[in-house]
Amino acid sequence: MTSPENRNENDGNRLIQAIRGTRDLLPGETEAWDVFEGLVRDTMALYGYREIRTPIFEETQLFARGIGEHTDIVGKEMYTFRDQGDRSITLRPEGTAPVVRAWLEHKLGAQGVIDKLFYIGPMFRQEAPQKGRSRQFHQFGAEIIGTDAPEADVETILLFLAILEGLGLDSWTLHLNSLGSRESRMAYREELTGYLEGVANMLPEEVRGRIASNPLRVLDSKEEQVQEVTAGAPSILDFLDDASREDFERVKTLLTDRGVPFVINPRLVRGLDYYERTTYEILSPDLGSQDALCGGGRYDGLGEMLGSPERIPGVGFAAGIERILMALETAGEDLVFEAQTEVAVVSIGEAARRRLFALCDQLRGAGVACHFDLTERSVKAQMREANRLDARLAIIAGDKDLEKDEVTLKDLASGEEEAVPIERIIPVVVERLEHTDPELEE
């Protein structure tokens, strides 16, 4: 059967489009992404995080073991395929398991150094696309590996909030929880399973199915019916072991010291199995149902799940770039601007075209953003294009001008024109642009 999603090569002449749940980032948008990523990089540097770039695809086992067989991500959402060597490969659905794999593989912790790493890049999950949820999306994330100090948990939160502040995005809510240790979580799981079995007949079918496989996930369902039925469920916070309880208290105190407001949400279990102790999410009121700007927490057992003989403590978060940009737009904070052409070069005639083509490149060498009209159209059309690009100056010359070794320099705002000897044009343009730099004029 041919549905819009699984059309195949047979429909010969169809115009090929991007796959559902993916999209192109076009000029006009990519500039905002660059500004955004620049801010992320600067803030990461300020906090002492260094960039890591792991492969886009990994052995499937990495995610199956790290994230957990019974999670939605591994069970339903991964892009998994067999390569030519019959190996099971998965496009990364998240960055934490790859980062910990790389950390172990390259023995980054060999000197007992605490590693603070960050990443930016695409992730892949086969979820039903909707506002704020796509199949290829982009995250930036930060991980601190090698310490279980509660300051590390709090530092990752402060780091993310510093990025939001840098963007001017000031409405958010921090949800905080502790899942305790693996052991205390097992005890809780048993208790919760008993409770859920008691109310199972009031739960929707697909939620009921989770009671045996992943009962904690039943609690963070967004469905009202589920929330109502499970209102009296036991709280994970009543099951914390002493060390986890103490740790959670310290996290809360450190946040309070920094004046960071938070909401305790005992239902915040997160969708990945590697978490222990602290989990958190930062939500935006400017998004619809997919309102988590970032999610994170502590994953002290993940290293062992990936085959490390030792326990490797770690904590971090990842944030959805599309969601942050969407929240910014709703909040009226604009990162979008057009790439600025400073000078448009307009030529008439073959000899002038050749000479000005070279000049244009020399201007770029002098740091001037220069546009050379690649179509051989009329001067009028070239000037119209110069105005459309919002260039500040135009350099205009025909074959006759160049016989006199001159070009015309036109200020496109005032309309003023002057003849400039061609060998002087670069310093004259540079000087003019400095004097009319809109940023300096503000």
The contact set with ligand HAM (CB under 6 A) reads 94-96, 125, 127, 132-134, 137, 139, 141, 143, 271, 292-297, 299, 316-320, 322-323
Kindly tell me which of 75 and 349 has the beta carbon lying closer to ligand HAM.
Answer: 75
| C-beta of 66 vs 398, nearer to ligand HAM | 66
Min CB(156)–ligand HAM separation in Å: 8
- Structure tokens of 300? 């002290």
**Nearer of residues 55 and 421 to ligand HAM, judged by Cβ:** 55
CB of 1 to ligand HAM, least distance (A): 26
Q: Which is nearer to ligand HAM, 127 or 411 (CB)?
A: 127
Three-state helix/strand/coil letters over the chain: CCCCCCCCCCCCCCCCCCCCCCCCCCCCCHHHHHHHHHHHHHHHHHCCCEECCCCCEEEHHHHHHHHCCCCHHHHHHCCEEECCCCCEEEECCCCHHHHHHHHHHCCCCCCCCCEEEEEEEEEECCCCCECCECCEEEEEEEEEECCCCHHHHHHHHHHHHHHHHHHCCCCCEEEEEECCCHHHHHHHHHHHHHHHHHHHHHCCHHHHCHHHHCHHHHHCCCCHHHHHHCCCCCCHHHHCCHHHHHHHHHHHHHHHHCCCCCEECCCCCCCCCCCEEEEEEEECCCCCCCCEEEEEEECCCHHHHCCCCCCCCEEEEEEEHHHHHHHHHHCCCCCCCCCCCCEEEEEECHHHHHHHHHHHHHHHHCCCCEEECCCCCCHHHHHHHHHHCCCCEEEEEEHHHHHCCEEEEEECCCCCEEEEEHHHHHHHHHHHHHHCCHHHHC
Rounded CA-CA distance 141/318 in Å is 4
Q: Smaller CB distance to ligand HAM: residue 176 or 386?
A: 176
- Shorter beta-carbon distance to ligand HAM: residue 281 or 342: 281
Of 139 and 265, CB closest to ligand HAM: 139
Q: How far is the CB of 169 from ligand HAM (least distance, A)?
A: 13
Q: To the nearest whole angstrom, how small is the minimum distance from the Cβ of residue 204 to ligand HAM?
A: 22
Residues 6+ apart with CB under 8 A from 298: 148, 153, 275, 276, 277, 278, 279, 313, 314, 315
Q: In this complex, which beta carbon is closest to ligand HAM, that of residue 103 or of residue 137?
A: 137
Give least dist CB 261 to ligand HAM, A.
19
Residue with the CB atom nearest ligand HAM in the bound state: 320
Please report how close the Cβ of residue 354 comes to ligand HAM at its closest, in angstroms. 49
Closest separation in Å from C-beta 316 to ligand HAM: 3
Q: State in angstroms the smallest separation of the CB of 141 from ligand HAM.
A: 5
Minimum gap (Å) between residue 412 Cβ and ligand HAM: 41
Instruction: For ligand HAM, give the closer residue by CB, 79 or 357.
Output: 79
* Identity of the residue, 133 or 245, whose beta carbon is nearer to ligand HAM in the bound complex: 133
Task: Please state the closest distance from residue 188 (CB atom) to ligand HAM, in A.
Answer: 20
Beta bridge partners of 397: 347
Cβ atoms within 10 Å, residue 174: 18
